[in-house]
Amino acid sequence: MRAEIKVSGIVQAVGFRPFVYRTAMENGLTGYVRNRGDAFVEIMIEGKDENVKAFLRDLRRKKPPLARIHDVKTKFLEGKNEFDGFSILKSSANVEFSGSVIPPDVSICEACLRELRNQEDKRHDYFFITCTDCGPRYTIIEDLPYDRSNTTMKQFRMCPFCQREYADPANRRFHAQTVACSVCGPKASLADREGRVVTSKDPIREAGRLLEEGNVLAIKGYGGFHVATATTKDEPVVRLRAVKHRSQKPFAIMARDLETVKRFAQVSRKEAALLTSYVKPIVLLKKSSGYYLSDLIAPGLHNVGVMLPYTGLHYMLFDSVREPAFVMTSANPPNEPIVTDNDEAVRKLGSVVDYFLFHDRLIAQRCDDSIVRVHGKDVSFIRRSRGYAPEPIRLKKAAGKCVLALGGELNSTSCVLLEDKAFISQHVGDVENLETLRFLKSASEHLLRLTNCKPDVIACDLHPKFTTTRLAKDWSDELGVPLVQVQHHHAHGAALMAEHGLDEIIAIVCDGYGYGLNGEAWGGEVLYCNGQGEFRRVGHLEPQPMVGGDLATRYPLRMAAGILSKATSIEEWLRSNSIHLPRGEQEVDVILQQLKKGSVPLTSSCGRVLDAVSAVLGICYERTYEGEPAMKLEAAAAIGKNVLKHQPTVKGNVVNTTKLVHRIFKRRNTDAASDLAFCAQQYLAEGLAQVAVGEAKRLGVDVVGFSGGVAYNEGITCGMRRFVEENKLHFVMHKSIPAGDGGVSFGQSVAAAWQMMR
Ligand SMILES: [Zn+2]
Ligand SMILES: [Zn+2]
Ligand SMILES: [Zn+2]
């Protein structure tokens, strides 16, 4: 019997061909296996009937750990007895199917780590040691099929030793495209801030020593550069903050090992599993009482983002130092994507760092580290990037159309929706300037090429002025396909539905800003959404004045002033806080005047209410990064209790936030800020949940979901969940996509597909 088999999923770049080769040999079969240009693997086998069947069973059961089989198409044919044995053939450029994809990058495996440390091993101390089970993938692939010549490894010719292992079916590196050693592979080098080589026998360990001494280094990794420094001293962190123009934004750190992490942070079993998983994401951990790293790493926050080393290079940085962890933050100039090129690094980071640690492999796709947070048993994605992208999200129901969605404006990603799979790009960032827009475009094109998808529809935000909206319009014109604009919070709600396979939902969506219908500023919404791609706004937070428009986003005192002035006289209080406004007394006068005139834009944003509370409580007066006042409020609330116990005031499905802020204001001098912070979060959670539950019951919908950036807030999420579940309804959150705007492209794609199928 002969069988022609086509396997889709993540089957290239995961050791699948060597696995097929071994399995065919074990079953005494002849034939061949080869990669194809559409990311499928094509197999031809011939032999006894029972052996062919055993092979097909083993194919699914014994597949390599990193492989994901989505589909196996098998055609049984007459045996012709034409093959001498079984072989791995040269890849074919055939492109026939869509939807297969190459895997994300994988952190160094145990076997490679052992060899890195073994003095007898040929790859002892080789910083880019990899095998079929580990190493970069997405970041080095330029084209399909996955062969070395289609990756940025093509510039490194294998030495005879590597070549032998590559060709040996019994070896772990059989057909491993990233195989390399210190003789033939990428090399590391140390350079000063002008990019001039600093001679060193051991540049990586030397870089570790320089970090420990307090220098700031730019270190090239798999998907881009990190800016790094020591963590136990304040001085280098202060310097890093000054040069990066980041006064408060938390820095992620890379710790030596898990034991070390446990000395400064609380680590649950689930968190430990994530930290040590082959993805090695940044995990947001609660600082422990014994936290001894510089307070300037994550100032004013109760948690800190930690990851473990994920390449040989990272391990070696720690070898000759005692420092428990290094700051490792993405090296990107303000509003630009992460830097990937050596010359570009010198140009853009030379004024920021003291030294560079380079390697000479090119980066095909830039990719930032992923960030996750654990809520009880659940993992929530803050940024889904390295180690996850471009692995597809599997939908419970297939979409009938192929959609390319370009996301919103902040924390953007793009998404290719194809049948029952959604391929979300790596983190792209804030698409406000040309450089990031170009990155979004190239990341989207790369995804389309990898998945062999031709979009039927282009989806984007409703905001007429977003750069992504303009790009989407151009793209749809170019391809001659329809454009579907999806309201921001509707996209959040649709994403929840698609992820959980729902036909209807009452979605609570809370974030900072989204362009609402009629151009209103939304951000504290309760929506009814359905599987026809329709939505209705059924409730929201009370619209509040943003005194000074965007300035109110930057300076939460303005937001507080606007809300409080509806219920009380604020002049005296505002004057006593004038030092927290950049132009002091003068600015107070302007604010009072603006309020008197009354023509102030309104917003129903939940983020802005949290900002206002944060300012009233003296927790945060300036928002230097997205979500800062709300995150610091959450940090305070983490140790607070419900002292006010007040029932939310809700009228006509509008949650009154004036009363909330006013009550907090009145108690600000008598109660602990942490308790009041807790109460404010509780009030918003219950108020919105009350509206959602009421509408769910009225409309006969049994699921209430929560999405948007505010869904990262543990206190608000817990409060909402409790209220919804006490009312015997299901409560859902995001599981595999970010609740924040990194998940918006996914929501746009499903909402657009549903609308097109109506
Ligand atoms: Zn390995
Ligand atoms: Zn070699
Ligand atoms: Zn949003």
422 CA to centre of ligand 1 in angstroms: 28
Element (H, E) at 595: helix 584-597
How does pLDDT run across 533-552, given as a tens digit for each residue?
999 999 999 999 999 999 99
- CA gap 77, 441 in Å, rounded: 44
Element (H, E) at 707: strand 703-707
745 CA to centre of ligand 3 in angstroms: 11
751 CA to centre of ligand 1 in angstroms: 40
Residue of 283, 304, 285, 284 whose CA lies nearest to 293: 304
Residue of 223, 721, 629 whose CA lies nearest to 428: 223
The torsion angle over the Cα atoms of residues 268, 269, 272 and 278, rounded to 10 degrees, is -150
Low pLDDT (below 50) residues in the chain: none
581 secondary structure, DSSP code: S
Residues surrounding ion ligand 1 at CB below 5 Å: 109, 112, 131, 133-134
pLDDT of residue 80: 85
722 CA to centre of ligand 1 in angstroms: 44
13 CA to centre of ligand 1 in angstroms: 13
Contacts of 119 (CB under 8 A, 6+ apart): none
pLDDT of residue 433: 85
Is 656:544 a contact under the CB 8 Å cutoff?
Answer: no
Residues surrounding ion ligand 2 at CB below 5 Å: 159, 162, 181, 183-184
Is 398:416 a contact under the CB 8 Å cutoff?
Answer: no
Is 100:70 a contact under the CB 8 Å cutoff?
Answer: yes
Q: Which ligand neighbours the alpha carbon of 412 most closely?
A: 3
491 CA to centre of ligand 3 in angstroms: 8
Is 496:505 a contact under the CB 8 Å cutoff?
Answer: yes
Q: Which ligand neighbours the alpha carbon of 130 most closely?
A: 1
How does pLDDT run across 666-694, given as a tens digit for each residue?
999 999 999 999 999 999 999 999 999 99
Contacts of 303 (CB under 8 A, 6+ apart): 265, 284, 285, 286, 287, 373, 635
- CA gap 581, 646 in Å, rounded: 31
- CA gap 412, 491 in Å, rounded: 13
104 CA to centre of ligand 3 in angstroms: 26
Q: Which ligand neighbours the alpha carbon of 409 most closely?
A: 3
Q: What angle do CA 531, 604, 700 make, to 5 degrees?
A: 35
pLDDT of residue 81: 87
